[in-house]
Structure 1
């Protein structure tokens, strides 16, 4: 075999090996395997983390999320589980609430989560037993947030439907935390051939 033919054979073999490696990696991602290895299947969607909202008047507003959609419930966002909490305090008043998640949908770096308020105090006390919704845009430390009571001013008034909320108009206070959104990948049926 001459040098040129030998070199072409080596290049072809290398190219085939690279294609096989890329194909295997693509299959692992497509099947939902955990990128960290170990072969564990990742959950279908998630919203996690804690951060404070920016307010020029100095209000202390914190939102904490631990919301998850299990892989086996991928096509049922209303099977989401978890909790979220929020609090808002000023020098003269305050309120806090805990919420049991009843729906979670994420798309790219945006999440919408709703739930039923299980505990609340202060101006939020009347929200117990009512649904509230939050929208988060995960922008890597410059996150944004919106909430269903933006138009009414009080959580629980004008209850949203599951997985609905306001546009993420609020900004995170710099250095106060971060929210993480795990994108949802719906599984659509294949067309008959």
Structure 2
């Protein structure tokens, strides 16, 4: 076999190998048939011109073939300004996504500051993962301004009315592909 033929054969083998590796990777990237049913991940700071430091972060997942109330993961939120301090870690108990909008609820497992007595309370947050990079968020306690007073059912929150602070958000919503029964 001459040198050109050998080079062409090696190049073809490399291309085939790279294509196969790319296909294997693609099946686990959230787009293939084996992907999880839905997810909400990332973190962002809310836009507040008065200087409040409000951060929300998410690691919520819905396994393939699971129902929304079988979601797993955690989310965290904190709010600091001057002497005001409130933070919580939440165990996810429901996740629903549609397009680039997600609603996640969970029960507070650890609270700090003004939320130290909130352990056991359910809260909800909604997210709109926008293409423009300034995601939006809403939260179940928006009407009362106090997560301790609201009784929140699973999978419930307010519309995503708040904007994230420019340059701080990397929220990602993986849309739920609900499969309708056929009979």
CA distance in 2, matches of 1:147, 1:119: 18
2:169 corresponds to 1:169: no
Deviations 1:63-119 (CA, angstroms, capped at 9, x unpaired): 00000000031xx10000000000000012111100000000000000000000000
- Considering only CA atoms, is the larger Rg found in Structure 1 or Structure 2? 1
- Assess, with a 3 A threshold, how the Cα gap between structure 1 residues 185 and 36 changes in structure 2: closer, same or farther: closer
Q: Where in structure 2 are there 5+ consecutive unaligned residues? A: 1-22
Distance 1:67 1:153 in 2: 24
Residue range with higher mean Cα deviation, 122-131 or 99-108: 122-131
Matched, 1:58 2:24: no
Q: Secondary structure at the match of 2:141?
A: helix
Would you say how many aligned residue pairs link Structure 1 and Structure 2? Answer: 158
The match for 1:98 is 89
Task: State the shift of 1:158 in Å.
Answer: 1.2
- Contact 1:103-1:162 at 8 Å conserved across structures: yes
In structure 1, distance between residues paired with 2:35 and 2:30:
10
What is the distance in 2 between the residues matched to 1:77 and 1:88?
28
Counterpart of 2:35? 42
- CA distance in structure 2 between the aligned counterparts of 1:50 and 1:116, rounded to whole angstroms: 19
Supply the RMSD in Å over aligned alpha carbons: 2.0
2: CA distance between counterparts of 1:69 and 1:35?
Answer: 15
Contact 1:133 1:148 in 2 (8 A): yes
* Offset from partner CA, 1:154-176 (integer Å, 9 cap, x none): 11321211000001111000011
What is the SS of the residue equivalent to 2:117?
A: helix
The TM-score with structure 1 as length reference comes to 0.77
Determine the structure 2 residue equivalent to 1:132: 123
Return the alpha-carbon distance in structure 2 between the equivalents of residues 109 and 72 of structure 1: 20
